[in-house]
Amino acid sequence: MKIFALTGLIFFAPITLADVAFNIDVESPYARAAIKQQRNSAVFMQLKNRDDRTASVVSASSPVSDTVELHTHINDNGVMRMRKIPRIELPGGQTVELKPGGLHVMLLGLREDLQIGQQVEVTLRFDDGSEKKLEAPVQRVMPPGAMHKKHGATMGH
Amino acid sequence: MKIKSAVIWVAVIGFFGGLLLAQELLKKNGVGLLPGQGGNFTLQSDKGPVSLVDFKGKVVALYMGYMACPDICPTSLWNLTEAVKLLSEDEASQVQGVFVSVDPERDSPRALGIFARGFFPSFVGLTGERNELDSVSRQYGFIYEKVPLKDSAMGYVIDHSSIIYLIDRQGVLQAFIPHDTPPQKIRQELLKLLS
């Protein structure tokens, strides 16, 4: 029995270490301040994939809203078209930026006002089923410094 | 014959000159300003009907969108708010921020009032009947479209232009501020109309 358990540990250990959540760094997350009457808000962040394989965020959840979805914006000649997307792809060795006017984690059906200074808990789920929990401080626009980090600027490998 | 060719030359020069002038104007304003665009409108606030002419003597910054918009509208309104905060108190008191929601099914005048004042105490939030909103949109060249999102809890989104319309003290539309313009630049545009 003991031997079995040990074999299992050895067998599964590398897989556990290689799960997507382990290889993704979340940088400068923040949620946008909103009042309940707006119904919705968004969470932005930079997601750095330290692995060399492409991974994806496939869903998210948060206690502050009824539903959480992944969305993006298309700027079609000045007309902003927001659309739900099934996943946010995180290419290996790159940083993907969720930012205003682009990709975001969308909070739908706010259960409370999101006030500056408050922390919003968000759980990201990846394509291998692993999860990452993060705390996003509520901000008006953007935390200082976050604007300087550009999409794909950090090449890990 | 000579007169005819002269007329043609005048027409040709006029045409290309016009094109160049239009290009310069486009460069200057970001988006083309068409003559006759803009004008008065009356919509509903939480304190009753509000017309553009009510703000005569003030510089009006008009933005149109919808409250369920999680990103584009709040970003634009925060940029405008920051720009107003960069002004002196006296200048800021001469600027009127107006948010018009083209989503009256979801946004009540009451909620819009709370929303708008949350950005800056003097801002107003307005909406109206669909035909009234369509008419304001046409006047200002604002494009919007209600799009069902079947797979989303949103139900529907509203695709829309993201422009701050700057209206002078006489109620004449003077400039378009394109999306994502930083507060400093918006402040400069406001100052041009305040001076």
CATH number of the domain that B51 lies in? 3.40.30.10
The angle formed by the CA atoms of residues B72, B76 and B82, to the nearest 5 degrees, is 145
Provide the pLDDT confidence category of residue A152 given band limits of 50, 70 and 90. very low
Q: How far is B6 from chain A (nearest CA, A)?
A: 40
ipTM reported for the complex, 2 dp: 0.79
pLDDT band for B30, please (50, 70, 90 cuts). Answer: very low
Q: Give the pLDDT confidence score for residue B130 in this predicted structure.
A: 98
Q: Are residues B168 and B187 in the same domain?
A: yes
Which candidate, B107, B106, B125, B128, places its Cα nearest to that of B116?
A: B125
Q: Which of A96, A71, A99 is nearest to B68 (CA)?
A: A71
**Do B84 and B6 reside in the same domain of the chain?**
no
Residue with tokens 């919003």: A120
- pLDDT for the residue B7: 73
Is residue B76 located within the same domain as residue B133? yes
Residue B87 and residue B17 in one domain: no
Give the global pTM.
Answer: 0.82
Q: Strand, coil or helix: what is A118?
A: coil
Domain count across chain B:
2
The CATH code belonging to domain A2-142 is 2.60.40.1890
> Do B6 and B90 fall within a single domain?
no
Mean of the per-residue pLDDT values of chain A: 85
Same domain, B101 and B190: yes
Helix, strand, or coil (residue A116): coil
Contacts of B183 in chain A (CB under 8 A): none
Of B117, B97, B104, whose CA–CA distance to B44 is shortest? B104
Residues B79 and B168 in one domain: yes
pLDDT at A111 over 80: yes
Same-domain status, B23 and B90: no
When scoring B26, B46, B71, B112 by the number of chain A Cβ atoms within 10 A, the one with the most, hence best to mutate, is: B71
At residue B150, φ and ψ (nearest 5 deg) are -60, -35
In this prediction, residues B112-126 reach a mean pLDDT of 97
Query: Which of B75, B151, B157 has the CB atom closest to A101's CB atom?
Result: B75
Q: Cβ contact (<8 Å) for A101 and B72?
A: yes
Q: Do B26 and B112 sit in the same domain of this protein?
A: no
Put simply, the answer to whether B67 touches A38 (Cβ < 8 Å) is yes
Contacts of B67 in chain A (CB under 8 A): 37-39
CA dihedral B159, A103, A120, A140 (to 10 degrees): -70
Domain that holds residue B51: 37-194
CB contact under 8 A, A41 and B70: yes
**Domain residue spans of chain A:** 2-142
Please check whether residues B8 and B102 belong to one and the same domain: no
Q: B66-111, pLDDT tens digit by residue?
A: 999 999 999 999 999 999 999 999 999 999 999 999 999 999 999 9
pLDDT exceeds 60 at position A57: yes
List, for residues B174-184, the tens digit of each pLDDT value: 999 999 999 99
Q: Mean pLDDT throughout B39-59?
A: 98
What pLDDT was estimated at residue B22?
56
**pLDDT exceeds cutoff 90 at B18:** no
Same domain (yes/no): B19, B111: no
The answer on B87 and B1 residing in a single domain is no
% residues pLDDT > 70 (chain A) = 78
